[in-house]
Amino acid sequence: MITERDIAGKFSVIWKQHFPLLTSNFMRVFNEFQVKQLNKVPIPKKENIRYDLVSEVAFILSDKLIENGSTIEEFLSDKANLLALVTQTASIIWKSGNYTKKDLVLSKMEIEEIALISRNIFEFIKINKKESVQFKPTLKGYGIIPDLEADISIDDTLYEIKTVNRNFKSSDLKQLFIYLALRQVSGNMIWNYAGLYNPRKGTYCKFNIKSMVSNLTGGLSPNETFENLLNSLDRDIQIDSRF
């Protein structure tokens, strides 16, 4: 099954057709002038850390703690809760099931890093939230594009979380655009703003969707752009899947 990351990383002709001004130069300026520092404590990469597992555990942990009101320390000190959390995460990121019980054991450094990332996510939410927070809002698929889950909705803003040791890339924005497009054509509540957040570097950005789409398309509206984008992607994915 094709994922939103696959779609964002491929189909370059379609992306260029619908977002002709989303170039490497745009991303350079975007990272320099639109991205801001939010968290006081960035988290540098360390050796011998399974970054995909640590990042996803921290994200799911943040969701659970928002729901039940526990603290990070309380949850991580409970071995049963921690094992259940890691097992749940492993089934998400290693969908083939090709992992062992040993893979579910976290090192001390990994647990410490999970706590740091979750703490930054909480700080991010606290600074930005006014009324509502929803982790993993679901989005109805379109054609051959499957149903998807975005990362986090805070009030009228959809954020994509990238726990990485790099600047934001065009594929990060493309992934956001896929989610925004699916929500728009579904006829449900449409976000007015969108953004990217990196709890490892402690950086984020937030932008008006109409303005961003207009800037990247040469003046087109989100309605027109997103519907045309999905139709083009659906056609190419169908063609690609036949070969």
In angstroms, the CA 198 to CA 204 distance is 6
E runs forming strands in the chain: 36-37, 133-135, 138-139, 148-149, 152-154, 157-161, 193-198, 203-208
In angstroms, the CA 138 to CA 147 distance is 7
Task: Identify the sign of the CA torsion 215, 221, 223, 224.
Answer: negative
In angstroms, the CA 21 to CA 41 distance is 34
Mean pLDDT of the chain: 93
**pLDDT band, very low/low/confident/very high, at 160 (cuts 50, 70, 90):** very high
Indicate whether 4 pLDDT > 50.
Answer: yes
Over the Cα atoms of the chain, what is R_g? 19
In angstroms, the CA 67 to CA 45 distance is 29
Reported pTM: 0.94
Q: Summarize the confidence of residues 56-85 as an average pLDDT.
A: 91
Q: So what's the pLDDT on residue 97? A: 80
**pLDDT band, very low/low/confident/very high, at 243 (cuts 50, 70, 90):** very low
Q: Evaluate whether 163 touches 51 at the Cβ level (below 8 Å).
A: yes
Q: Evaluate whether 221 touches 214 at the Cβ level (below 8 Å).
A: yes
In this structure, what is the dihedral angle of CA atoms 94, 99, 102, 105, given to the nearest 10 degrees? 10
Of 135, 128, 149, which is closest to residue 67 (Cα–Cα)? Answer: 135
Indicate whether 236 pLDDT > 90.
Answer: no
Tens of pLDDT, residue by residue over 18-62, are 999 999 999 999 999 999 999 988 898 888 899 999 999 999 999
Indicate whether 148 pLDDT > 80.
Answer: yes
**Distance between terminal CA atoms of the chain?**
14
In angstroms, the CA 231 to CA 139 distance is 16
Tens of pLDDT, residue by residue over 196-219, are 999 999 999 999 999 999 999 999
Q: So what's the pLDDT on residue 130? A: 85
Q: So what's the pLDDT on residue 96? A: 79
Tens of pLDDT, residue by residue over 164-187, are 999 999 999 999 999 999 999 887
Indicate whether 194 pLDDT > 90.
Answer: yes
Q: So what's the pLDDT on residue 242? A: 56
Of 135, 236, 137, 152, which is closest to residue 186 (Cα–Cα)? Answer: 137
Q: Summarize the confidence of residues 159-168 as an average pLDDT.
A: 96
Which tokens go with 68? 């039940």
Q: How far is CA 176 from the centre of its chain?
A: 8
Q: So what's the pLDDT on residue 84? A: 94
With tokens 């968290």, the residue in question is 39
Q: So what's the pLDDT on residue 55? A: 96
